[in-house]
Amino acid sequence: MTAEYKVHGSVAVITLANPPVNGLGLATRQGIVDGLGRANVDAAVSSIVITGAGGAFSGGADIKEFGTDKSLQEPNLLSVIAAIENSAKPVVAAMHTVAMGGGLELALGCHYRIAAPGCSIALPEVKLGLIPGAGGTQRLPRVIGVEAALNLIVSGEPVKSEMIGAVPGQKLFDKMAASAEALAADALAFAQSVADVRPLPLVRNLPCKHPEGDAYFQFARNMVKGMAKNYPAPAKCVDAVEAATKRKFADGMLFEREVFINLMWTPESRALRHLFMAERAASKIPDVPSDTPKREIKSVAVIGAGTMGGGISMNFLNAGIPVKILETKQEALDRGIATIKKNYEAQVKKGKLKEDKYAQRMALLSTTLDYADLKDADLVIEAVFEELGVKESVFKQLDAVMKPGAILASNTSTLDVDKIAAFTKRPEDVVGMHFFSPANVMKLLEVVRGAKTSKDVLATVMAIGKKIKKTSVVSGVCDGFIGNRMIEQYSRQAGFLLDEGCTPQQVDKAVEKFGFAMGPFRMGDLAGNDIGWAIRKRRAVERADMKYSRTADKLCELGRFGQKTGAGWYDYQAGKRDAIPSELVNKMIEEHRKELGITPRKISDEEIVQRLVFALVNEGAHILEDGIASKSGDIDMVYLTGYGFPIYRGGPMHYASEVGLFNVVQAMDRFAKNPNDDAAFWKPAPLLAKLAAEGKAFA
């Protein structure tokens, strides 16, 4: 049973019991309706309390039912709320910990509400590209006022019950319980005290007005337009709350329903719901059960205090975990620590970090030049130069000193984690932890699973990733792992576009208009064009047949590595990050084009975007096929959290499925016929070809 029924004296208590957050799945909804029925026919019962077991009143819809028939099956939430409103005996919601989404809408349908302090109140549907769909937009303004309600609905952010409870005139809570512990007893007493009240109060009967409605809603629309230009839902929140002030309750409910259903079909909502599910799914590894024992991580060691080592250390300090950094020279340590301090001090200056917190974090940080000092660390992360020989020496020393059971991780971005593991006598304890720069800011962590990495090491690293607030995605061992392996194909295609007639600015603009945080050339300038140069030099040996545009090499031959050298695809002014189109670079591209004998042509933004995004998609399909990623959602998470792919498009694999894989393959066939592109490049991955032929999607 996911809703329990018990009678205490004259009060029937219906307790939602669907862990972890009492989601309103079909069985729970049915349980509520059954409980109401029983209470109403039991002469000994004179009032009813609905509450939640464990750590929530209710978190709303049951995500396990998302997209299944069960989510729509009767009794749906609207019907449950109707049953509550129609109960002849008073129904009291006893709210604690979490009352969100459908959970709050359920409470708003009750005759009375009593809340414990500390209860998070929210209507977060907007975060999934939706509006509340079970009366939230119509009932909430009636109890906390139009402006407060719209604020909650548009932001989706939670507010604590005691804050709302303290507002004079609010009608959301009829009573505040003295404490969370007192809620059950207070709710029983309250339910008894209202047992004889008739007629029973209903939120739907309360007035809903704004004295300057037209002006206020116009203002709200302007605000929302600026904040959420790529998302339709926030503006619809305004429309729905306005409807609550202008229409009769029943008409407002119909309006809300219509808007909700229309939003369900928007690509933006589909992308946001995909992201929501993919994020949760990413933490689950198919062959590593969730009850796999985890190792305890109480202290961390970091090898190398450079760009990455410093940022990686900050993640753990921020989470309250002590870090010891090792370097070969005192100067390198000093430089690294100074950078960490500079980063924290900038946060303090901006008011984002309190002085005492800064001091606490720095107190957790220590340094050493001696491997023996690291021996007790539970996890060590190596971030030294990207050379296998250097990694070998580091891992041999770690193997010699680290205690048994310590996890040995490498932040390598290109090297073979299995080779690194083989430098030790404990390859089962070795794993890749690939952070992205700046490591203290970027959300993505690629967890690289070596051939011998043990399951408990993986489970532990995924858990620690969560603790340091990263989105962790598991990748198998291959060149570039998931993210960089795909970006290489994207960069190759960007090069062909230059050869054919584009300027870097045109390509960047098209890609940024599509929604990427940054186009490929601005990104190259930020990351350093020399990184790709090194990879291409390696490729020239390994894969001499692979076609590349030579423009990027020519750029590097000019020493234009990007922002760090003050010049790359663009020019930069000292101390500024603004990308200024470079005449010199554009000339270089033109000359190279002449050498190739290509007559430039005007390439549409649509073609630019398709060629770049489908390059990602095709490599993503290979990655799935090779088992480097276990699901397409993982690939999307990598691109959404690490590469600035537009959130409202849901990641490359989701986007391709939205476009239709058949259409993707058709476009690829067209591109393959372009003599200035590369026919081999556009050969669809077998998985992509198969899914397209079967009319299927990736997910």
Alpha carbon separation from 400 to 370, 384, 396, 451 (Å, rounded): 13, 18, 6, 22
Query: Residue of minimal CB distance from ligand NAI?
Result: 306
Question: Which of the stretches 79-87, 151-159, 405-413, 607-615 binds ligand NAI when contact is defined by CB under 6 A?
Answer: 405-413
* Closer by beta carbon to ligand NAI, 180 or else 388: 388
Nearer to ligand NAI, 112 or 435 (CB): 435
Stretch that binds ligand NAI, among 95-103, 247-255, 306-314, 622-630 (CB under 6 A): 306-314
Residue with tokens 């507002």: 167
Q: What are 301's strand-pairing partners?
A: 324, 380
Q: Which two tokens stand for residue 461?
A: 């690293």
Residue with Cβ nearer ligand NAI (2 or 412): 412
Cβ pair 541, 549 in contact under 8 A: no
Helices (H), 74-119: 77-85, 102-109
Collect all residues with Cβ–Cβ distance below 8 Å to 626 and sequence separation of at least 6: 476, 478
Residue 320 token pair: 């309250």
Q: Is 512 in a helix, a strand, or coil?
A: helix
Residue 366 gets the label, from left (phi > 0), alpha (psi -120 to 50) or beta, of beta
Closest CA to 165 of 99, 235, 256: 99
| Six token digits for residue 105 | 């809408």
CB of 430 to ligand NAI, least distance (A): 14
Q: What minimum distance in Å lies between the beta carbon of 578 and ligand NAI?
A: 21
User: Closest distance between ligand NAI and the C-beta of residue 390, in Å?
Assistant: 5
Distance from first CA to last CA of the chain, Å, rounded? Answer: 31
Contact string 429-458 vs ligand NAI (x = CB under 6 A): -----xxxx---------------------
**Of 101 and 483, CB closest to ligand NAI:** 483
Nearer to ligand NAI by Cβ, of 68 and 393: the residue is 393
Of 276-305, binders to ligand NAI (CB under 6 A) are 303-305
Residue of 197, 257, 266 lying closest to 233 (CA atoms) = 266
Q: Does 252 bind ligand NAI (CB under 6 A)?
A: no
Q: Which residues are catalytic?
A: 105, 125
- Closer to ligand NAI by CB, 95 or 380: give it: 380
Task: Return the residue matching tokens 């975060």.
Answer: 127
**Which residues make Cβ contacts (< 8 Å) with residue 347, sequence separation at least 6?**
353, 358
Name the β-bridge partners of 447. Answer: 433, 474
Radius of gyration of the chain (CA): 29
Q: Taking CB under 6 A as the rule, which mask of x and - marks residues 332-371 in contact with ligand NAI?
A: x---------------------------------------
Stretch that binds ligand NAI, among 216-224, 254-262, 385-393, 496-504 (CB under 6 A): 385-393
Question: Which one among 61, 80, 119, 308 touches ligand NAI, defined by CB under 6 A?
Answer: 308
If binding is defined by CB under 6 A, does position 309 make contact with ligand NAI? yes
SS3 track for 160-210: EHHHHHCCCCCCCCCEECCCCCCHHHHHHHHHHHCCCCCCCCCHHHCCCCC
* Cβ proximity to ligand NAI, 411 vs 551, nearer residue: 411
The interface region with ligand NAI, picked from 1-9, 153-161, 382-390, 669-677 by CB under 6 A, is 382-390
Determine the residue type at 166. A
Within residues 48-67, the interface with ligand NAI by CB under 6 A covers: none
Window of 100-108, 324-332, 561-569, 635-643 that interacts with ligand NAI by CB under 6 A: 324-332
- State residue 58 phi and psi, 5-degree precision: -165, 135
Coil, strand or helix: which one is 73?
Answer: coil
The residue (of 29 and 391) whose beta carbon lies closer to ligand NAI is 391
Q: Are 192 and 47 in contact (CB under 8 A)?
A: yes
Asked if 644 is part of the footprint of ligand NAI (rule: CB under 6 A), the reply reads no
Which residues within the stretch 508-537 sit at the binding site for ligand NAI (CB under 6 A)? none
605-625 helix and 661-672 helix, angle to the nearest 10 degrees: 110
Q: Is 4 helix (H, G, I), strand (E, B) or coil?
A: strand
Confirm or reject binding of residue 383 to ligand NAI (CB under 6 A): yes
- Using the rule CB under 6 A, which residue among 242, 327, 499, 636 binds ligand NAI? 327
Nearest to 687 by CA among 592, 620, 602, 616: 620
Residues 379, 394, 486, 653: which binds ligand NAI (CB under 6 A)? 394
Q: Does 328 bind ligand NAI (CB under 6 A)?
A: yes
User: Any contact of residue 386 with ligand NAI (CB under 6 A)?
Assistant: yes
Q: Which of 158, 232, 306, 600 binds ligand NAI (CB under 6 A)?
A: 306
Among 137, 412, 551, 618, binds ligand NAI (CB under 6 A): 412
Total binding residues toward ligand NAI, as defined by CB under 6 A: 25
- Of 292 and 307, the one with the shorter C-beta distance to ligand NAI is 307
Q: Is the peptide bond before 234 cis (omega within 30 degrees of 0)?
A: no
* Residues at the interface with ligand NAI (CB under 6 A): 303-309, 326-328, 332, 383-386, 390, 393-394, 411-413, 434-437
